[in-house]
Structure 1
Amino acid sequence: MILKFGKRVVLAAASVIVVATGVLALMRLSQGEAQAMPYSTSDQIRAARPLGAQEALIIDLTFAGVAADPVEKRARATLAQTFNHLEMDGTHQLDDYGLCRMLSWPDGGGVMNMNCHAIPFFAFNELQNRLALTKMIASATSQKPAVEAAPYWSEAGLGVAPQDAKPLQIRAAAGGVQYLLGPQAAGSISGDLGALSPAEAMAFSRFLARHFPMHPQMRADIAGRARLPMVIEVMQTNPAGQVAAQRMTLANLRREKAEYPLPGGLPSALRAQVAGDASPRGQALRRALAVVDSGGKDRPPSFESLMDGVRKGGEPPLASLMLFLNVTQQYGGRITADRAALESIRPQIQAFMRDPQAGRFLAANNLAGNPAAPGDRVAAARFLAEADALDKAPFGTFRYVTYANLAANSEGSAQWPADIRAKMPVRLEDNYWRHIAAYPWASNTYADLANLFPFDPQTAWLLQDLGRAVDTDWKSGVMGRAAAYEARLRTAAPDFY
């Protein structure tokens, strides 16, 4: 099962214009999850969940790359009902299944905090990318792909695969089990540390999914045996394209009560990073955090005030159009449902359509939302790049979002004339950051920007979390698809949860 991104949609008619930007819909946010966000301190995270002791498996581990990296790394894993805790090399990794967070902190440092969907999200995107690349190379060379390019090796390296994929043969061997991909050794398990209950087997499978990648078929077989092996060896491809073994040795199994391991008093590592970041990204994130920290006092213009501004019109019509676009981005669900309110601004919408400058912006917006829409994309980009007077108008920095969406959805945009590109931020992402810094309250821009990071899960999911935190009405906008995406992801990779 491959999960794909949504695309931007722009719908236009003579009397009604409804504008929506793209969505990378990722997750449903429960009340508990809303209290544990990327910017949370450890005290805030601890306050969001029970801290009492739980029954847990505790295992001593040794990791080694048998061929590529023979240096052993020692660790201890605590596998409880609602969390996994891995301690290794003076750092801590905590998978919090109750809050759907992945937490990490060094001894004496701040806590990093990432959405628990980020890793499987990345794994499926990277798998799709690798399979497409392999197919393209095979088509170009008319040669059969080398063994390390076969789909299995990508699936094993990332720990995800299409549902019901079972490429391995499983056979008993002296002291354990062997996993074969045709005649090729794919992995093995050996030794026996004892029986696992169904709940313990599930906890062990979740741990393997996040901390020791292997093909899901192998992981499912290990969990289904309900015995804890002493050695797990998995064949992986290394950067040189060679097949090499990765080994995990398990010892000293014990069952103890374990309290929630995140210590109190740790600051947010994200806040520390953002505090000294003068880039457009840093400015935007500080502005978004200010909204979060205000407790609702730092909020967007009201629906009524924006609608009054649109009704009053004014010159130039392009500035009035920005107010309307503000309505669609901040209150898209409400304006769509309130037909009377929409009807009340019909004359102004018709005026937008007649005004040359406003018409050019709408045409550019249409091209930005639809890569197949016909039109002069270079001319649209030039118009947006030269409309710098909008930066002083309320919501005028939305031109940066429109420009970035246009570039992202236009083939050959990197070769647009230099004088166009010189007027806009060099990095495409900085167009979005600039608008967020100026207008931090609407989640759609966060979702559009997240689309630029399919292989950077930490940034993509930071944006998704922040978008929901600053926009109380996110469910009525493009992020309303979040729950469906979460369900698909959990179905596609259930043992990550």
Structure 2
Amino acid sequence: MMMMAPVTAAAFTIGPQSTSDEIRAVRPLRVPALRLSYTLDQAGEAPQAGTVTLADDFTAVFDEDGIRVEDIAICRSLSWKVQAHAFDNDSCYAMPAFRIVELQNRRYLASLMAEIKPSDGKSPANLAPYWAEQELAVQTDPVDHLVATEAETQIEWRLGKDVVVTTSQRGHAFTEQEKPRVARYFARFVNLHPQVRRAILTSGQWPERIQIESRSTPQATTVVLTFFGYRKGNGRLSGAGRIDTGPAPAGLPICRRNQRKRFSFGSRRWQRTSQTGAE
């Protein structure tokens, strides 16, 4: 299941209409946090670099496009672009709920497609339950579709005969207390199948490198995430690409928009979608 967030009393004073100044007023300036950097490589696109900050009550991802924050204390999903004049402010429960509903939709579609017998008798490979669960990073039941094989430097995860995920044996150790932060990041920000996520959490080690085969588009793609600079200390959220003293830049109103926005980690692009369930 998707990681859901316990909320604090402050969550009842903050809503979708709240400005960044109102959000900043109920958030601490500095909190203990884990921090690390990453690079993301995908065929046909320029490499991208970013940083991740993991605190007990927020997860923040900063890259060249903008900033995305899952604020657990006030139960808000916040995002804004560099040099933005407004920001997105959604419920922290919206995207988990959307993913569960979308997974059910994918299953129903797959069942309909399976009834259409192709001339060669073979159903499209991307109709297998694994692919929807991988793209949405969620399962309704913890079913293991993959077989893991350990090599000297990596673990290969196979769906049938195909290697669909590779995780490095080298990595960064995290404690049992830090595990919920790590789980929240992989559940909310990475298109990684829950089976692999569970294995990472059980191992107590954050892999230095994760390679993911994706079929979320008609053409199969490979995404490679490399993590480095794992460190512990005090963290605070940043605004407009710089270190700031609050969870959002000062003076930003909520975005006024008719269309919803959704971020795909794999594509690294801000995309508009008409799916009203996304919020």
TM over 0.5: yes
The separation in 1 between residues aligned to 2:106 and 2:249, in whole angstroms, is 41
Q: Which runs of 4+ in 1 moved over 6 A?
A: 27-30
Report the equivalent of 1:359.
none
Q: What residue is the counterpart of 1:305 in the other structure?
A: none
Secondary structure of 1:199 counterpart = coil
Match among 97, 100, 125 for residue 121 of structure 1:
97
Residue 256 of structure 1 corresponds to 233
The code of the aligned residue for 1:256 comes to: G
Match of 1:265 in 2: 250
Whole-angstrom distance in 1 between the partners of 2:183 and 2:83: 30
Pair 455,168 (structure 1): closer, same or farther in 2 beyond 3 Å: same
Counterpart of 1:86? 61
Q: For residue 245 of structure 1, what is the amino acid of its counterpart? A: T
**Is 1:44 the equivalent of 2:22?**
yes
| Cα distance change of structure 1 residues 255 and 121 upon mapping to structure 2, 3 Å threshold | same
Aligned match of 1:64 = 41
Match of 1:174 among 146, 152, 160: 152
Task: Give the secondary-structure state (helix, strand or coil) at the position aligned to 2:107.
Answer: helix
Residue type at the aligned position of 2:88:
M
For 2:267, the equivalent position in structure 1 comes to none
Question: Larger relative contact order (C-alpha < 8 A, sep ≥ 6)?
Answer: 2
Contact 1:157–1:236 (CA<8 Å) still a contact in 2? yes
Match of 2:183 in 1: 205
Higher helix share: 1
Q: Distance in 1 between matches of 2:53 and 2:9?
A: 26
Shift of 1:457: 3.0
What TM-score comes out, normalization by structure 1 length? Answer: 0.47
In structure 2, the gaps of 5 or more residues are: 239-246, 260-272
Larger radius of gyration: 1
Cα distance in 1, alignment partners of residues 73 and 123 from structure 2: 42
Aligned residues of 1:125 and 1:454 also touching (Cα < 8 A)? no
TM-score, normalised relative to structure 2? 0.82
SS of the residue aligned with 2:73? Answer: coil
Partner amino acid for 2:254? A
| Whole-angstrom CA distance in 1 between matches of 2:277 and 2:236 | 29
Alpha-carbon distance between aligned partners in 1 of 2:162 and 2:102, rounded to the nearest angstrom: 24
Letter in structure 1 aligned against 2:25: A
Q: Is residue 107 of structure 1 aligned with residue 107 of structure 2?
A: no
Q: Is the 8 A contact 2:77 2:92 kept in 1?
A: yes
Equivalent pairs: percent with the same residue? 25
Spell out the pairing of 1:483-494 with structure 2 (5 A cutoff): none
Q: Secondary structure at the match of 1:256?
A: strand
Alpha-carbon displacement from aligned partner over 1:97-151 (angstroms, at most 9, x marks no partner): 1111110122332221011111111211221111111111111326442222111
Cα RMSD, aligned residues only:
2.6
**Which structure shows the higher strand fraction?**
2
* Alignment gaps of 5+ in structure 1: 3-26, 282-452, 462-497
**Which letter does structure 1 place at the counterpart of 2:228?**
A
